[in-house]
């Protein structure tokens, strides 16, 4: 089921057992920030991006290596070379996603990002090394920027798809089918928001981090909060701006976010995460955040 109807979605989601699949990934993949610079096309609808003068390619590369090193301590983490012609490629989860036995290629809104989907090495890794079946959405006309637009509760097979210029209703339906989800809720993001995963994270199927200012309809916030209560964390404006919502659980006991997000995380919210069974781990990513994304955006998950 894919719907905008909150009651219909909650009727299914509220009874969905955590037996859909593993709650967290078995491996992760990154793409190096080679050619790191302002992507002018992406800046058209990403208010989080800094001015060109704020981009520091050397520092971004160093921090990206630190990220891979940190993640490799908890799960296998591979990094593909970047491409100077695709400066946004360090955010691969928008372009490539996985589900059991298959990988999905998304359709990006901006031409500079559409080129990322043609990478033969990444496709070959999933197809020939892992033996995954391909679901290619990149050549159709509807934008569907995968797990940027679609936040997935992998344990229960639930999707939360925020609509914007980066994903329309038709694209949401294509992703719902590609990932084989039980139920997906479609809703509008607030004006100025470009991706759902900046304002919402579902952590190992048992907690949610929600940035209320990122949603156009307060009723959606209430529905998600009810679904993950008592482990639903409602971020303050400062936490939202610092990318606290762009976090991820890569195992059942640890949530990862940038160091800036960790500094902005309120003590009561850190305690809520602890109550849900999560330790907070951080990596300094201020140079990368100049490009309008943070830690979760850098991580492609392998299920």
Encode pLDDT of 83-113 as tens digits: 999 989 999 999 999 999 999 999 999 898 8
Residues 246, 181: Cα–Cα separation, whole Å: 22
CATH number of the structural domain 2-302: 3.75.10.10
Say what the pLDDT of residue 110 is. Answer: 85
C-alpha distance across the termini of the chain, in Å:
22
Confidence band, pLDDT 50/70/90 cuts, at residue 174: very high
Confidence at 49, pLDDT banded by 50, 70, 90 = low
Residues 210 and 200 sit within 8 Å (Cβ to Cβ): yes
- Give the model's pLDDT for residue 121: 97
pLDDT digits (tens, 9 = 90+) for 124-154: 999 999 999 999 999 999 999 999 999 999 9
Q: Judging by DSSP bridges, how do beta strands 279-283 and 150-153 pair with one another?
A: unpaired
pLDDT at 44: 66
171 neighbors 144 (Cβ within 8 angstroms): yes
Q: How distant, in Å, are the alpha carbons of 5, 46, 110, 215, 237 from that of 191?
A: 21, 11, 19, 8, 15
- The rounded distance, in Å, linking the Cα atoms of 32 and 64 is 7
Three-class secondary structure of residue 229 per DSSP: coil
């Amino acid at each position: 089921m894919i719907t905008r109807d909150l009651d219909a979605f909650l009727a299914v989601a509220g009874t969905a057992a955590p037996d859909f699949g593993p709650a967290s990934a078995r491996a992760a993949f990154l793409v190096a920030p080679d050619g790191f610079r302002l992507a002018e096309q992406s800046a058209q609808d990403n208010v989080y991006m800094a001015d060109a003068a704020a981009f520091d390619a050397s520092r971004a590369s160093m921090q990206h290596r630190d990220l891979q090193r940190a993640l490799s301590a908890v799960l296998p983490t591979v990094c593909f070379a970047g491409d100077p012609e695709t400066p946004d490629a360090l955010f691969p989860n928008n372009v490539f996603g996985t589900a059991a036995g298959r990988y999905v290629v998304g359709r990006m809104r901006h031409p500079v990002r559409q080129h990322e989907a043609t990478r033969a090495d990444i496709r070959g890794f999933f197809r020939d090394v892992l033996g995954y079946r391909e679901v290619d959405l990149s050549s159709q006309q509807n934008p569907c920027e995968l797990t940027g637009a679609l936040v997935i509760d992998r344990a229960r097979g639930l999707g939360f798809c925020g609509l914007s210029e980066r994903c329309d209703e038709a694209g949401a339906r294509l992703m719902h089918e590609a990932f084989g989800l039980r139920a997906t809720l479609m809703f509008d993001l607030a004006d100025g928001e470009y991706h759902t995963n900046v304002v919402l994270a579902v952590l190992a199927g048992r907690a949610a981090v929600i940035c209320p200012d990122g949603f156009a309809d307060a009723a959606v916030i209430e529905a998600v909060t009810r679904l993950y209560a008592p482990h639903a964390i409602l971020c303050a404006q400062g936490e939202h701006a610092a990318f606290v919502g762009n976090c991820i659980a890569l195992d059942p006991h640890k949530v990862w976010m940038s160091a800036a997000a960790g500094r902005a995380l309120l003590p009561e919210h850190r305690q809520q995460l602890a109550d849900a069974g999560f330790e907070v781990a951080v990596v300094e990513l201020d140079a990368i955040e100049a490009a309008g994304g943070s830690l979760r955006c850098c991580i492609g998950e392998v299920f």
